[in-house]
Every structure is written in C-alpha cells, then in structure tokens.
Structure 1
Amino acid sequence: MRVPVVQHRSRRRRALRRRALWTGGEFLVTAGVVLLLLVVHQLWWTNREARRDADHQVQALERQWATPGAVSGGTPSANTGLAGGSSPRPSTAAGGSTTRTGSAGSTTPRRSQAYAVLTIPRLHLRVPIAEGVSKQNVLNKGYVGHYPGTQQPGQAGNFALAGHRNTHGEPFRYLPRLRVKDTVQVETSAATFTYTVDKILPQTSAADSGVIRPVPRSIVKPSYGYSSPGYYVTLTTCTPEFTSRYRMVVWGTLTSMRPRT
C-alpha cells in the first residue's frame, strides 16, 4: 500500500489561498466599517452640527433684533409702501380680518448672509433664512436658502426658499406634513410676515423653474400654481427622501404683517 506524499508545492498553494481569503475578508470588513462611519457621519453628525449652528444663528438674530435701533447691514426692512413706492394694500388675514401689508424693502442681503427666521408651527421648525442656495455656504449649514432673483419677505411677487430634506440639519424633512391653511411665518429685523398655505405640488421636475417665478406656476404640471400677481411664498425640497431627482413644492399667500416694535 502506497502512502500519498504531500508535495511542498501543494502546501504553498493552499497557504496562498488561505492568505488571499483572509486578506479579502479583512478588506471587506474594513470597507464595511468605513461605509458605516460614512453613513453615521451623513445621517447623524451632519444633522447634529447643522442643527446646532442653525439654532445659534437664530439666537444671534433674535439678540440683534432685540437691541434698540440695531439693523444688520443689507437686511431687508419693512416700510410704509410696497416695492416701487406704491401704497400698502389690504389683505385678508387668516381669521377673516383685514390687515395692512407692506414690503420687506428693496435692499438685497449679502450672499450667504442669514437675515431672517422661518417658523412653521406644524413642523415645530424655527430655522434661519440666508441669501442664496449654495450647498456649502447655506444649505449644508442647516439654513433655508432664498432663491436669488425672487422677492424678499412681504414684497409683491414670490419669496422662494429651498432647504434640505435629508442630512445637514434637514429642515424640510417633514414638509409633506404641511396642509392647506397651515401658516408659515417669516421674521425680519422689521416685521413678521405670515403666509397661509393654499397649494401643494407633491412632485415635479428638478428643472421646473416655473414654481419660483413671480407668479408661480409649474411648467411641468400647469394645473398647479397661480394665474394672477400676488404676495407668495414658495418652499421647495427634494423628493422622494434620500434622492434629488424630483422636487416637492408648497405655496402660500401673504395674509398678515406685524411690524416689529
């Protein structure tokens, strides 16, 4: 009976295979840990940091506005007339009463400057508004961004805003919870403007520029929007969650203005 002889070459091949499998396993485990850390960073750490910074900015604006005579440079301020010098016109408030509405002024804030505060009671949201929609300098800080070229709070036309739905503070994560007749408040150094939600576009193209025009109307879904000039606010965010393929749009109409005393 012959005893099989194990060749050294066969041993080396098996050892190399074991080493390759071990190295591959280590690589997969390391890659999994790195990927997990990236997910934690995006979903937890960026939210934590952005929300903290946004809260601090809201508090800074409130302290600034509480200082008698303090108005930040470039911050819009209310006046006694509409943009262009026309007289203020009445509008019907949410409770049915008639109030006088004025403009937020024609001064444009500096790029990336936080100059107003957005409050949405249904969403328990209170967040700073900054000029522009730069990801790095505005949206990723947890702020809501004002679309350049659209109107300022209280002005005739469309005051259009954008905010993240996921990560970096995700201020608009629960925007789909808004309903018609909910209120949206915008505070500036001069006044608080209250808009009432009256139209919601659940989904449209990311390139649908019609939703932020002075008279907002979707160019993708023309049945959504307005047909006459007014005083509007537009809130936009990505949809569905964790994608940027489409946009959700919420519109409201100015119903009251309360000057800051």
Structure 2
Amino acid sequence: MRVARGQRIPVVVQSRGRRRAGARLLWVCAETVVTCGVVVLLLVVHQLWWTNRQARAEALQQVRILEREWDISPPADPARATGAGGPSRTPDSSGTPDVPDESGAPPVVSAAPSTGPDSGGRGPAPSAAFAVLRIPRLGLTVPVAQGVSKRSVLDKGYVGHYPGTAAPGGTGNFALAGHRNTHGEPFRYIDRLVPGDEVSVRTRARTYVYRVDQVLRQTAPRDVGVVRAVPRSIVKPSYGYDEPGAYLTLTTCTPEFSSAYRLVVWAKLVT
C-alpha cells in the first residue's frame, strides 16, 4: 500500500485515563477488604480475649469482696441460719425457668422468690452476688449472682442463679447458668466433670458441698425440666431424678461457640 506524499497515517493511542481509573478502583476495593478484615479481627480479639480478661478480673474482685466481708462479719447465729438440726428443708419450687439462650434471646423465668437455708426468707437482690462457687477439678472460683440476665450477671463473668429455684443447701434444685465462651467463660470446661467430682458453694452462713452425679451432654434450649425442683429432662427422660432431694444444676451452651444446645451437669448435696 502506497501512501501519498504528505498524507498522514492515523495512529490510535489508548487512553491512560481509563487504566488509571481501573487501578484506582482496584486499590479502593483492596483497601476496603483490608479494612473490613482488620475490623473483624479486632471484634474477634475483643470477644475472645478482652471480654474474658475484663470479666475474670471483675469476678475475682467480687469473690475477694464477698469473702472479706464474710470473714470480718460472720453470721451472728450460725445455728439459726442453718437450723439446729442441719440445713432447713423447703417446699419444692413450682417455678420452671427456661434455660438461658446465650445467643441473646431473653430467658423466660419464674418470678417466685428463692428460699432455703441462706435466703433469710427472701431471695437475694436482683443481680447481687451472694455466693462463691468452686470446682476444684477445673480450678474454677466464681461469684454466684441472682438472676440470669446477660448484661447484669452473665456478661460480668458471674454465674447466674435461676429465679424460682432453691437456695444453696435447700431441698429442691439450686440451678445455675454460665457462659461457655467469652465474658469470663466460667463454664467452658464443665463438660470435663465426671460423677464423683466435688463442687462447693460458699455463702455467708456456711459452705455446702455437692458431688457430681449425672452429666447430660446435649439437650434442647427449651428443656425446662432440667431446672425443675426434681430435675428431669423432658427431651431425654432417661436423664434426671424421680425423688425430691437437694440438687445442684449447672447449665451452659454447647457445642463451644454455639448456642444450638444445652449442656447440663447435676450434683447432689453431700454436706
């Protein structure tokens, strides 16, 4: 092909602007992904590390405060507090509080007051710590507070006492709930408990010792039978009891980092 003298050949030049815009878009997308990743990582660190650190510190401080008060001012009349013939016995509670949902759904609980050797005829003030739970096998020491509210009890690293269930040492079911993960996670390893393990509950009046008897490793969140006065699972009826007694129930979510099911440990009063 011949080009006439003086005639110009057109040259197509690609726009650099388009390439720059594309590179800028990719950079913005990359920055957004990295920022989201950092935010998610910080949230995970906050939930799995900081909430545990903060809640454990607060819980241990509360244990020290309680035990210091009890050591300084013990009951004026221990025999009266526990009964001259040993722990007093109370009627079975008719309340059937629901097993708390750690996913955030509020539990349905009975408003009946707790009664027993350490109730003084009335239950502790809502969210107030009134006992110290110890599980030697797990190296666990944690305060017990009234109620199972996440914000005012469980998220503080405390163990919560189901309203309407028995007081420590009383006839019936002294039922407790605690987080499996985050916020101090006091019940993270209760799946390691086996029959024969001892659990103690100290109050101002005295220390009660329970012995682990049964472990229900998985049941439905709404299995209210496990916290009744005579505990028996309504989902798995082969687990539980038929006769009145002095029981301790520990409940938490399972499997770890999930609230799909509930793990239940039952113990019987020894002393």
TM-score, structure 2 normalization: 0.82
Residues 103 and 156 in structure 1, CA contact (< 8 A), matched pair in contact too: no
After TM superposition, give the deviation of residue 200 of structure 1 in Å: 0.5
1:70 positional shift? 6.3
The aligned counterpart of 1:46 is 51
Matches within 5 A, 1:205-220: 205-220=220-235
* Aligned amino acid, residue 224 of structure 1: Y
**Moved runs in structure 1, 4+ residues, more than 2 A?**
1-5, 10-13, 68-71, 77-81, 102-107
Structure 1 CA distance for aligned equivalents of residues 170 and 130 of structure 2: 16
2:17 aligned partner = 12
Distance 1:148 1:69 in 2: 25
Tell me which of 175, 193, 212 is aligned to 1:178: 193
Between stretches 105-114 and 150-159, larger displacement belongs to: 105-114
SS of residue paired to 2:58: helix
| 1:152 to partner: Cα distance | 0.5
Q: Which runs of 5+ in 2 are unaligned?
A: 2-8, 92-115
Query: Structure 2: which amino acid aligns with 1:218?
Result: S
| 1:63-92 C-alpha deviation (Å, 9 max, x unpaired) | 100113568xxxxx533352459xxxxxxx
Q: Paired residue for 1:229?
A: 244
Equivalent residue number for residue 41 of structure 2 = 36
Q: How does 1:90-169 map to 2 (within 5 A)?
A: 103-105=117-119, 106-169=121-184
CA deviations over 1:168-223 (Å, ceiling 9, x no partner): 00000111110100011000000100000010000000110000000000000000
Q: What SS does the corresponding residue of 1:104 show, helix, strand or coil?
A: coil
Partner of residue 56 from structure 1, selected from 47, 58, 61? 61
Alignment match of 1:65 (pick from 48, 65, 70): 70
Q: Percent identity over the alignment? A: 60
Question: Cα offset for 1:12?
Answer: 2.3
Provide the residue aligned with 2:88 in structure 1: 82
The 8 Å contact of residues 64 and 70 in structure 1, kept in 2 or not, is answered as: no
Q: Greater strand percent: which structure?
A: 1
Decide which structure has the larger Cα Rg and report it.
2
Pair 1:254-2:269 in alignment: yes
Task: Count matched residues.
Answer: 233
Partners of 2:118 and 2:61 lie apart in 1 by 24
Matching residue of 2:110: none
Residues 84, 32 of structure 1: CA spacing in aligned structure 2 closer, same or farther, 3 A cutoff? closer
Does the residue aligned with 1:193 lie in a helix, a strand or coil?
strand
Structure 1 unmatched ranges of 5 or more: 72-76, 86-101, 257-261
**1:6 is matched by which residue type in structure 2?**
V
The amino acid of 2:70's aligned partner reads W
Please report how far the alpha carbon of residue 3 of structure 1 lies from its aligned counterpart in structure 2 after TM superposition.
Answer: 7.4
TM-score, length basis structure 1: 0.85
Farther off after superposition, 229-238 or 62-71? 62-71
Contact 2:90 2:171 in 1 (8 A): no
Asked if 1 retains the 8 angstrom alpha-carbon contact of 2:179 and 2:188, the reply is yes
Amino acid at match of 1:35: V
Deviation at 1:14, TM superposition (A): 1.8
